[in-house]
Structure 1
């Protein structure tokens, strides 16, 4: 094999090692939230290309050295691993595809384990560093498989914090493999004479060199972006801070000492002698601060415009959703809905709120929460606008007294459109008269269409409970 080939495979392994170490560092910094960084999907995709290039060069080496078993096992492992990585990427884009996530991961780990055993026991073991790499791959695969089996009853989404911590350590340990492979190829490179180097390099080597250079540039750019994303994830931007400015900060401490942070916007020219409706806006995203939930709450931003503040005098309450929690209705996700209900009721003591005109709205996670709140506490709300959400149809009989206008995109791959359809049908069956708007060509991001609905806010603020609400049971 030529000196250029060895230099290329060393460069590819070096790039793989550098990218892996950076990702491990970022994983330790952000934990589960790593996967939520804006640039992570692009980083993940570039990482797949680096893995594919490195695997192709390794397979070329095995084939040239007549390491038949290593070549065959490596080829199978590469195909399965890349298919698994592609599936994982698609599952992050379209959660509905994630039902076989654990099976895909197990298949990838098993294929990697077989490859490791082959490296350590086949003819490739004559190269000491390859044998060591095979042993490390085998051990890591066994540990990862054991961890997956130990946590087999825990759904893959949302990510489990303990399992993710194990993955952090395994990911860091996995960086040993390219180091061992680098030692092997550096040793072989030393024995290759420059005199045997052809004047015109093979096309494959030239292409590989170019790909390493391009991927190195992409990796550098994305690493810089991820560092910026990491900063932005924990710090509100000037735009987000400006959006939150009309909303005063507040907090509610429950009987058990639990704290719910929130933002609340008072009506323009607030008069304590008058009673005003209350709009509860449930954010779609969870943050560690008490600022960015406004940007994640479309109904709050809509009502905070100068025009709507003048036209609709109302309180707008936006509770903060702590990281890795939700508003209820989402499987396997801790809910802060009970604390939110307590906070909503506590507002009656602090402000002049019309208890017969409470409304709730949210998109995505907030859509789930909207259905959940009116399902568990129908006595509190006069109207609801759940967008791209899902509820429990068995709770529909208790919701018939609430005016509901639901929205969904027919092509939504994040939250199935059946979530809204089933709730609307259940409400109709129970005797309710809900409004429902479905966008046939739209997916998950439909809020810009929702705000175009003629008279939507007029309809919302016209809703009023016929009788004063009874005391709510928390």
Structure 2
């Protein structure tokens, strides 16, 4: 490739990167601070937003790699999904991406090293929420009480650590969410009965070597025990990044927004 073509290619790549960054700036920056609770979030309002109308609200929880306090990294996975023109026209909704602090975790879970060297996840069945979960619970109540949020159409979803946080929110706030989806997450099966009535779509990669697929299949099995037919999609060739496949599911968002309390 000659110098002129190389320069043109670099310029094109830079322009594309800048355009994507500008798109993510459509998410306004917000924060919830009350007492000892503080949490940053990004929020996307529908096009032609009218505060006198009410809209569905979806909250998305990121994975452990996007923790921090920059109020940006949490948009890494999923942020562009909700910016697509098709989504914004078909499902006018308020989209919220909170950010977990780097010294906390969404779910109340402890890690141990197993005999194979892999992490073993021990999920709590009760107890106090983590620092970030406690702040998240306050933030959710605050946002849900806004007059422009349709309380019958509040949704939660997340990936990895955020999938674990999704399950925890479902058990802590049993009457808040109309539906949920969890990607490569996990929970203690003893908690499943607490959210068996909430429509839930589970996703996981069968080759996941970070969060074992068994954590998702055990939840699905427990739902069957509770006489609930689980909605679960497993990807035979996916490792931990099964969120790419889940986000590409054409029925995910139509299914989600068809649910209401």
- Is this contact kept in 2: 1:329–1:391, CA < 8 A? no
Deviations 1:59-111 (A, max 9, x none): xxxxxxxxxxxxxxxxxxxxxxxxxxxxxxxxxxxxxxxxxxxxxxxxxxxxx
Structure 2 equivalent of residue 264 of structure 1 = 43
Deviations 1:253-276 (A, max 9, x none): 12x332111111111111223211
What is the distance in 2 between the residues matched to 1:379 and 1:431? Answer: 20
What is the distance in 2 between the residues matched to 1:305 and 1:329? Answer: 33
- Is this contact kept in 1: 2:108–2:130, CA < 8 A? no
Deviation at 1:415, TM superposition (A): 0.2
What is the distance in 2 between the residues matched to 1:301 and 1:378? Answer: 29
Deviation at 1:243, TM superposition (A): 4.7
What is the distance in 2 between the residues matched to 1:294 and 1:247? Answer: 9
- Among 73, 83, 107, the alignment partner of 1:304 is 83
What is the distance in 2 between the residues matched to 1:268 and 1:243? Answer: 13
Helix, strand or coil at the partner of 2:73: coil
What is the distance in 1 between the residues matched to 2:26 and 2:256? Answer: 22
Deviations 1:22-74 (A, max 9, x none): xxxxxxxxxxxxxxxxxxxxxxxxxxxxxxxxxxxxxxxxxxxxxxxxxxxxx
- Is this contact kept in 2: 1:267–1:314, CA < 8 A? yes
Structure 1 equivalent of residue 109 of structure 2 = 330
What is the distance in 2 between the residues matched to 1:458 and 1:309? Answer: 12
- Confirm or deny that 1:458 pairs with 2:254: yes
What is the distance in 2 between the residues matched to 1:449 and 1:242? Answer: 25
Matches within 5 A, 1:120-131: none
What is the distance in 2 between the residues matched to 1:351 and 1:286? Answer: 30
- Is this contact kept in 2: 1:375–1:392, CA < 8 A? no
Runs of at least 5 residues in structure 1 that lack an aligned partner in the other structure: 1-236, 466-474
Deviation at 1:441, TM superposition (A): 2.2
What is the distance in 2 between the residues matched to 1:424 and 1:335? Answer: 29
TM-score by length of 1: 0.45
Distance 1:335 1:426, change over 3 A: farther
Deviation at 1:301, TM superposition (A): 2.4
What is the distance in 1 between the residues matched to 2:71 and 2:19? Answer: 14
- Among 249, 274, 277, the alignment partner of 2:53 is 274
What is the distance in 1 between the residues matched to 2:217 and 2:256? Answer: 20
- Confirm or deny that 1:356 pairs with 2:152: yes
Structure 2 equivalent of residue 52 of structure 1 = none
TM-score by length of 2: 0.80
Structure 1 equivalent of residue 139 of structure 2 = 343
- Among 254, 270, 289, the alignment partner of 2:70 is 289
Matches within 5 A, 1:385-400: 385-400=181-196
- 1 or 2, which has the higher helix percentage? 1
Deviation at 1:335, TM superposition (A): 4.5
Helix, strand or coil at the partner of 2:75: coil
Distance 1:451 1:257, change over 3 A: closer
Superposition RMSD on alpha carbons, in Å? 2.0
Structure 1 equivalent of residue 211 of structure 2 = 415
Structure 2 equivalent of residue 116 of structure 1 = none
What is the distance in 1 between the residues matched to 2:231 and 2:180? Answer: 10
Deviations 1:377-431 (A, max 9, x none): 1211111110000012111112122110100011100001111111111122223
Distance 1:425 1:388, change over 3 A: same
- Confirm or deny that 1:381 pairs with 2:177: yes
Total equivalences in the alignment:
226
- 1 or 2, which has the higher strand percentage? 2
Helix, strand or coil at the partner of 1:374: helix
Helix, strand or coil at the partner of 1:361: strand
Helix, strand or coil at the partner of 2:250: coil
Runs of at least 5 residues in structure 2 that lack an aligned partner in the other structure: 1-16, 112-128
Distance 1:441 1:335, change over 3 A: farther
Matches within 5 A, 1:49-60: none
What is the distance in 1 between the residues matched to 2:22 and 2:60? Answer: 18
> Of the two structures, which has the highest relative contact order with CA contacts closer than 8 Å and spacing of 6 or more?
2
Deviation at 1:252, TM superposition (A): 0.7
